Amino acid sequence: MSSIIAPDKPALPETRLTRSLARELLEEYGSPLYVYDAQVLRATIEQISEAVNYPRTRFCFASVTNGNTSLLRIFREHNWGLHANTPGDVHLGLNAGFAPAEIVYSGSNLNRDEMRLMLEREIGILNLDSLAQLEMLRELQRHRTKSPRSRVGLRLNLPEITGETRIGVGAHELADAVKIANSAGLKLSGVHFYRGTATNSTSAFADSIATVCQAGALLPDWEYLDFGGGFGYPYNANRSAFDWSTFGAELERRMRALSRPVELIIEPGRSAIAGCGTLLTRVVSVKRQGEKQIVGVDTSVVNIAVLSVHGGHRRIQSMTSDVGEDLITDVCGNTTFSRDYLGRNCRLPRLQIDDALAILDVGAYGYAMSSHFLHRPRPAEVIIENGTHRLIRRREDYTVLTEHQV
């Protein structure tokens, strides 16, 4: 069902989500509610796309951050591919209309059935995590009657850049990897590098390009460099923002200097989608502890990702009123988990029961990392675009907790 959005002065500069629209959405779809602004998403996609002028560049959205197929289709409309970390990501991408050749898989520890499935679906690129995974591919290929249509690469483990990590193979293992691939009639045509989760430092990425390229050049059949994801997002004003223009210029310079033409793949996730998402929630309880306002809401920290890993507390705004004295406020979730704080020491007006709050920048790792912790069903999702809003995922009810129990 679609409804016309009445024009109103925006309360949130990042989105067209006004106070009146927030109330309308909560009345129609219930609370809590994820809301995505398609206009913000499209503008972010275009900004990132224009930052890299190297002609052999392909962007692939990292669907680990958000797997709603309505949002994935927007990336496809902008000629992005899809980056998958699991067979589930692949399933969502195919459902959203991506061709198998448009999907890059860079996962970890596939079992035999999952790897066989990737081959049968003819996913465009398989970036494998270890020599053991490459040997599994070799064994499976021996029992196949046709050559794989997937290009095969390896994820790199470069501790001199990232520190200790479990992901990938070392540059010193690439020669052995080539021998394993050759013994199965395969060729290794690419390397994948993941700098780290939520990294806002532009130089951390730019300074690693040369080392990654040196590793790629060790492959006789080097065709592509997958520079992965991990690009950060500034969840509050005190954090630096990743500079796509500076990074893009350095990438272009390095890629043009290579001795052979190499395709460049970039996999933004959080940086592309975080800012378009808002979680609306209603106040269900208000109390005071000294000078602090303690506000209870009808959602939980499990609906805005693991804060210690994925960006810290989000910005929170009142969608009812900003009139009156700002109070130091803790916003608390509706579980008994002692760390269920959606925000701490926020500056918010005096709030009342049924007031609406907007928790900003939840487009990445919001619904994707939500759970049934303490057995609460997950919220619905809505998109606003072209003057309308529509439901893109139904709200769960308590039947979801028992439907698969036997």
Q: What is the pTM of this model?
A: 0.93
Domain edges within the chain: 2-37+274-401, 99-268
CA 170 to the chain's CA centroid: 26
Task: Give yes or no for residue 278 having a pLDDT over 90.
Answer: yes
Can you list the positions of beta strands (E) in 213-311?
A: 224-226, 263-266, 277-289, 292-297
309: confidence class by pLDDT, cuts 50, 70, 90? low
The neighbour count for residue 109, using CB atoms within 10 Å, is 11
Task: Give yes or no for residue 145 having a pLDDT over 60.
Answer: yes
Q: What is the pLDDT of residues 240-256, one digit of tens each?
A: 788 999 999 999 999 99
Cis peptide, bond prior to residue 32, ω within 30 of zero: yes
Half-sphere exposure for 372 (CA within 13 Å, toward CB): 10
CATH number of 2-37+274-401: 2.40.37.10
Fold of 99-268: TIM Barrel (3.20.20)
Q: What integer pLDDT is reported at residue 156 of this predicted model?
A: 95
CA distance 304 to 66: 12
Q: How many residues does the chain have?
A: 406
Task: Give yes or no for residue 13 having a pLDDT over 70.
Answer: no
Q: Is 324 left (phi over 0), alpha (psi -120 to 50) or beta?
A: left
Beta pairing class for 356-360 and 316-318: antiparallel
Q: What is the pLDDT of residues 356-395, one digit of tens each?
A: 999 999 999 999 999 999 999 999 999 999 889 999 999 9
| Mean pLDDT on 199-215 | 90
Q: What integer pLDDT is reported at residue 50 of this predicted model?
A: 95
- If you average pLDDT over every residue of the chain, what do you get? 91
| Mean pLDDT on 173-188 | 93
CA distance 137 to 204: 33
Q: What integer pLDDT is reported at residue 308 of this predicted model?
A: 56
SS3 for 120? helix
Fold: same for 2-37+274-401 and 99-268: no
SS3 for 54? coil
First-to-final CA distance of the chain: 35
Query: One-letter amino acid identity for 76?
Result: R
Q: What integer pLDDT is reported at residue 229 of this predicted model?
A: 81
Decide: residue 163, CB within 10 A, 0-12 exposed, 13-18 middle, 19+ buried.
exposed
Q: How far is CA 44 from CA 15, 54, 62, 275, in A?
A: 12, 19, 14, 8
